[in-house]
Amino acid sequence: MTNRLIKAYAFEKMARVYVADTTEIVQRAKDIHDLWPTASAALGRFLTSSVIMGAMYKGAFNRDDAELTLRIDSNGPIGGMVTTTNTHGEVRGYVGNPHVFLQYDSGKLNVGQAVGEGHLHITKNLKIRDIFTSSVPLFSGEIAEDFAYYFRASEQIPSVVSLGVKVNENNDIIAAGGIILQMLPGYKEEHLQAVEKAFKELPHISFLIEEGKSLEDILALITKDHQLLEELPLKYHCDCSRDKFERGLMSLGIEELRNLIEQDGKIETSCHFCNQQYLFDELDINQLIDEIKK
């Protein structure tokens, strides 16, 4: 089963809504990083909102190659998080500390405490002009509220963001997903009220996905007044390569490379996003040094 996202107009076409199932993506992140439950919930919510945001730029400015890097710098035990995503439904990410398990008294995972206070930074490379980054303070560290705050403060778009990750006793991901609804220009107060009422009555997204509801079912639960626009498959995908790590090593310069090889006789690197290891022995490094000299 592959994850996907659907996009629709709703509320007399005065809102655009995205509904995504990201269960497999979050499970993959959990497997790669050995995430404990609260880290799964935090990174899972962040991956979900990131991949939906990437999908928002599909076709923007008649292009399809936008890339987004999202970063949370914060003081909680999780030690911050990074994701990258694009318009093709591909996303990857990591947390500073994967071994975090904090709960509220109710047993609910305490993502806000795990993340702590800090900032959300979103860097957009839309491939049309300069790359730009906008930053907002975190609202609560619960991720959904932080993104809603970002859309309102940074992009002046009233939005509803709902994100959820459910973890079982084996730390596996039973359900993960998200909904982002954004008001469109021309909306009236009555549309906002209708949206608020709909979301007040909507069961939590992770509960709906766990129950086996399809994305279309969930959209219909939000409102019958919708028009489906498109769907997009989603996946956890890392595009790292030995080539990219070679270029990274070359940027260190000849002297630093010589120091590193003198210390250990080899350089071991690994990708933060997927844990793929890349080993460079003395011969490899000498080749890189020759390459730099050229």
Of 84 and 162, CB closest to Zn ion: 84
Q: For Zn ion, which residue of 238, 249, 261, 288 counts as binding (CB under 5 A)?
A: 238
For residue 240, state whether it binds Zn ion (rule: CB under 5 A). yes
Of 275 and 286, CB closest to Zn ion: 275
Which two three-digit tokens encode residue 229?
A: 């626009």
For residue 136, state whether it binds Zn ion (rule: CB under 5 A). no
For residue 235, state whether it binds Zn ion (rule: CB under 5 A). no
Strand-pairing partners, residue 3, are: 234
Q: For Zn ion, which residue of 273, 280, 285, 288 counts as binding (CB under 5 A)?
A: 273
- By the 8 A CB rule, do 161 and 180 touch? yes
Q: For Zn ion, which residue of 126, 157, 184, 274 counts as binding (CB under 5 A)?
A: 274
For residue 91, state whether it binds Zn ion (rule: CB under 5 A). no
Using the rule CB under 5 A, give the single segment among 25-33, 50-58, 153-161, 266-274 that binds Zn ion. Answer: 266-274
**Residue 202 CB neighbour total at 10 angstroms:** 17
In the chain, DSSP assigns E strands to 3-10, 15-21, 67-74, 81-86, 90-95, 118-125, 132-137, 159-167, 173-183, 226-236, 266-270, 277-281
Residues 3, 232: Cα–Cα separation, whole Å:
9
Where b means 16+ CB within 10 Å and e means fewer, 66-82 reads: bbbbbbbbbebbbbbbb
Of 36 and 273, CB closest to Zn ion: 273
Encoded amino acid at 252, one letter: L
Of 239 and 291, CB closest to Zn ion: 239
Of 202 and 240, CB closest to Zn ion: 240
Q: For Zn ion, which residue of 66, 161, 271, 285 counts as binding (CB under 5 A)?
A: 271
Using the rule CB under 5 A, give the single segment among 19-27, 127-135, 199-207, 265-273 that binds Zn ion. Answer: 265-273
Site size for Zn ion (CB under 5 A): 6
Residues 214, 17: Cα–Cα separation, whole Å:
15
- By the 8 A CB rule, do 43 and 237 touch? no
Binding mask 181-220 for Zn ion (x = CB under 5 A): ----------------------------------------
For residue 175, state whether it binds Zn ion (rule: CB under 5 A). no
For residue 122, state whether it binds Zn ion (rule: CB under 5 A). no
Residues 231, 255: Cα–Cα separation, whole Å:
50
Residues 186, 113: Cα–Cα separation, whole Å:
38
Q: Least distance (Å) from Zn ion to the CB of residue 276?
A: 5
For residue 8, state whether it binds Zn ion (rule: CB under 5 A). no
Which two three-digit tokens encode residue 147?
A: 């993104």
Q: Which residues of this chain interact with Zn ion, rule CB under 5 A?
A: 238, 240, 271, 273-274, 276
